[in-house]
Chain A
């Protein structure tokens, strides 16, 4: 069973479109995260979310928004996609806080 899963694995879309990436974890963890990995492999946290608090990295454009229908899911919505949004996006989860996060397989987003 996959602990943290993401769909789709690959996403190719045109500039200006709106898209979503889904994330599900079956670990019973309380906190979920979204990360962006650029072409130089730098990993940067975008959001962390538990049922009490959403923490947003201040550098993330407000075109990006996380939505959590329940504790096991944290989806990433992106509006008005730009070329610079092309990257690999990883979802992760942990029991509590930032320690010992488990990562999903990533979604490679390409904006044309």
Chain B
């Protein structure tokens, strides 16, 4: 089945650094979503993207819907300790009404 591959798989960064992660697929998606999951909690929606090339910000987070519609990117600026968690991309395609989560990027912020 379809798989959304996220990279990197894990990141260890110093507080204050910027973070970049991406999500790629082998096929086109109509919607890209980015979620964050804290330990012991369910994923929480961060940003939703609906159009190729779209760039959307939510505070220190910025995400982009790739031009090819096969990828998406998430950037976090000036990381803080509470940014720790697992970040998931998710994609929806109208073709067959399919929805998939990515493999996740685990972020650790060192104070």
Closest B residue to A104 using CB positions: B42
Closest A residue to B48 using CB positions: A100
**B104 A99 Cβ-Cβ under 8 A:** no
**A90 B97 Cβ-Cβ under 8 A:** no
Binding site for A on B (CB under 8 A): 1, 31, 33, 35, 37, 40-45, 48, 86, 88, 92, 97, 99-101, 103-104, 106
Closest B residue to A41 using CB positions: B104
A49 at the interface (CB under 8 A from B): no
Tell me whether chain B's interface is mostly helix, strand or loop, or mixed: strand
Residues of A within 8 A of B97 (CB): 55, 97-98
| A99-B31, A99-B33 as given contacts; A41 in contact with B86, CB under 8 Å | yes
Binding site for B on A (CB under 8 A): 4, 35, 41-45, 48, 55, 59, 90, 92, 97-106
Residues of B within 8 A of A97 (CB): 92, 97
The distance in angstroms between the C-alpha atoms of A37 and B9, with both chains bound, is: 16
Q: Could you show 23 A-B contacts with beta carbons less than 8 Å apart?
A: A35-B101, A41-B86, A42-B101, A42-B103, A43-B43, A43-B88, A45-B99, A48-B99, A90-B42, A97-B92, A97-B97, A98-B97, A99-B31, A99-B33, A100-B48, A101-B45, A102-B45, A103-B35, A103-B42, A103-B44, A105-B40, A105-B41, A106-B42
